[in-house]
Amino acid sequence: MAAPEPIAAAGAARHPLVERILAGNAPEALRLSAARGALPIPQQDLIYVQICLLRDPGAGIAQAVSESLAKLSQETLAPLLRDPGCDPIVIDHFARSGRLAGAALEAAMANPAIPDATLEALAEKAPGETLTLIITNEVRIIGNPRLVDLLRANPNLGPDSRRRLAELERDFVGKEALRIRRPAAAPEAAAGPVAGAAEAAPEGAEPPPGEEQAPPPIMTPEEERTYEEALSRTPAYQRIMQMNVSEKVQLAMKGNTEERAILIRDAAKMVAQQVLRSPKLSDNEVASFANMRNIHEDVLRAIAGHRDWTKSYSVAHALVRNPKTPPGVSVQFLPRLGTRDIKVVMGDKNVPELVRRQARLLFLARTQPPKKLAKKGH
């Protein structure tokens, strides 16, 4: 029996049962079990293999898949489609199905992994709600100007969306077409709760040797103002101030360290977010961004949600000390800090009260014997 060919190669390692099914050496009983959604494997893998099985020639398998997928609720699909690791095959299937609504539809349209071909197909024929969400994803429209023509030709495009599209045309289409490199499932693009932050900062984790004795430097507000004033006098700053948003987005991907330091502070969130997607971005730059008090909190959330970046003690430390970091994000990284740095956080009036309170509890837990803590509790 020939294996069903997936639409595209999976980006990450799959469960062994999935690999076996796709390799073509799985018995029909196993494929039927997967088709019915009864295979005990992670949901992402299960749904991926089910979609691949829609083309399986086995009797009743494609029908079983269709029935199983139809039972998935919008509440189940939303987090699945919001996951930056969601396979493009899965996003394509549900986006084209026409059954997505609300949070699930928003998640699919905003996921960086959604294929250009999917967006183009939707832009041509989808209803108004979907078209509005496509227009909201300005970065993708800049990167694929063909979407503008498809959207404009769709009779379902409402007046407000047409006005917004006209503004995008005015700002971008008349300029040189941008060919920005799309990141593969960039985790910071996803909106909502910070993904992976808790995993990156496990309870009880210790800083690397010597870092507690020499904590990463944190800029004072005065030092940051001085640094910004120095940047504002550079030729690069003057040149960037003359650019429109589309030109800044392009520079965010291609520019140098100095230019990224200017663009990460840009008032247009899409510019700052594009800086984080630059293939030239260094770990030291990320740590310096995490320390900045005048960037949008969405940038700090994106940094906190990037597992590789938050492995760095400097980044975790800067996120905790930055008053712009949302408190719910900061407290996840407190256990990563050394005891000396925890003590500093306790007394830092710039840090939100919730973070200082959690730092104090953690400091007491580390420095006082259990019996003393028990007495204090009484």
CB 367 within 8 A of CB 346: no
- Number of C-alpha atoms within 13 angstroms, CB side, residue 372? 6
For 66-87, give the DSSP string. HHHHHT--HHHHHHHHH-TT--
Which residues, including other chains, have CB under 8 Å from residue 328's CB and lie 6 or more apart? none
CB 197 within 8 A of CB 188: no
**Strand, helix or coil for residue 315:** helix
Give the closest residue to 247 by CA, choosing from 233, 231, 263, 261: 263
- From first to last of its 378 residues, the chain has per-residue pLDDT tens of 444 444 333 345 678 887 878 777 778 888 888 888 888 888 888 888 888 888 877 778 888 988 999 998 999 999 989 887 888 889 999 999 888 888 899 889 888 888 888 999 999 989 988 898 888 777 777 777 788 889 989 999 888 888 888 877 765 544 434 333 333 333 333 333 344 444 444 434 444 444 444 445 566 677 777 777 777 788 888 899 988 888 888 898 888 888 998 999 888 888 888 899 888 888 888 988 998 888 888 899 999 999 889 888 889 999 999 999 998 888 889 988 888 899 999 999 889 998 999 999 888 988 876 655 445 544
214: tokens are 């020499």
Report the distance separating Cα 92 and Cα 115, nearest Å: 7
Amino acid identity of residue 265, one-letter, is R
